[in-house]
Amino acid sequence: MSDTTVRSAYSAIHELYIDLFGSPTDIDPEDTAFVLRHLTEGPVLDLGCGPGHFTQVLHAAGLAATGIDLVPEFVAHARSRYPDIPFRVDSLRTLDAPSETIGGLLAWFSLIHFTPAELPEILSEFHRVLAPGGRLVLGFFDSDEQVEVFPHKVTDAYRWPVEALSELLGAAGFTELERSRRPRVGDARTYAVLAVERGRE
Ligand SMILES: C[S@@+](CC[C@H](N)C(=O)[O-])C[C@H]1O[C@@H](n2cnc3c(N)ncnc32)[C@H](O)[C@@H]1O
C-alpha cells in the first residue's frame, strides 16, 4: 500500500488513535519486557512510532531512541509530549542512516499495511542499517494458516502466520531469537511478537 494512502488514513483518525493507544501505560507490560529484552544497544529506531509512546519506553530504558513516522500529526504530538526525544517525519522504506550503524529497530505494528510483495525490500533496508548483532523486534497481527488481508479500522492490513514471517526474515538475512503469540483478549485480534538478529558475519 502506498505511503500516501497510509498517511491520509492515519492523519484522518490521529486524535482518536492518540486517545486510545498513545500512552506508555497502554502497552502490555509483557510486550514492554519482550522488546526491552532484545533491544539493549543503541541507537534504536522506532519505525512507524505513531504517537511515540514506545519510543518513550525505549528512551526511559536508557537507549538512544529516535521515532520515525509518516504522519505529521503523530510526530508533532510525540515531539510535544516527549521533548527530549528526537522524532522525524519520514518513511521507513528508506532509512536515513549509514550501513551497519544501528543497534536496534522496533517495528511495532508498522509493517501491517505493506503487501507481502513489498516486505522483502523493506527488510533488506532494515538489514542494511543494523550493525552486526543488531536486533529487530516486530509486533504484528498473526494468523494460523496463510497471509490474509483484512479490513483494519484505519486501512487494509495483513495478518501473517508467525512461521511465514520468520521465513521471510530468514531470507533477508536475519536469525530468529524469540517468538511469542498473544492470546485473544476480549474483542482484540490475536497478535504475535518476533525478535530477530542480524548475523555477525
Ligand atoms: C498501527 S500503527 C502503530 C503505531 C505505533 N507503533 C503503535 O504501536 O501505536 C502503524 C504506524 O505505522 C506508520 N507507518 C506505516 N507505514 C509507514 C511508512 N512507510 N513509514 C513510516 N511510518 C509508517 C503509520 O503512520 C502508523 O503510525
- What 3 state SS string does 88-105 have? EECCCCCCCCCCCCEEEE
Domain boundaries, the chain: 3-198
* pLDDT, tens digit only, all 201 positions of the chain: 799 999 999 999 999 999 998 889 989 999 999 999 999 999 999 999 999 999 999 999 999 999 999 999 999 999 999 999 999 999 999 999 999 999 999 999 999 999 999 999 999 999 999 999 999 999 999 999 899 998 878 788 999 999 999 999 999 999 999 999 987 777 778 999 999 999 876
pTM score of the predicted model: 0.96
Q: Which CATH class is domain 3-198?
A: alpha beta
Residue identifier of the C-alpha nearest atom 18 of ligand 1 = 91
Q: Which residue in the block uniquely carries the three cell numbers 492515519?
A: 10
Question: Which atom of ligand 1 sits closest to the CA of residue 106?
Answer: 6
Q: Which of 69, 109, 137 for a ligand 1 pocket mutation test, highest count of atoms within 8 Å of Cβ?
A: 69
C-alpha cell at 11: 492523519
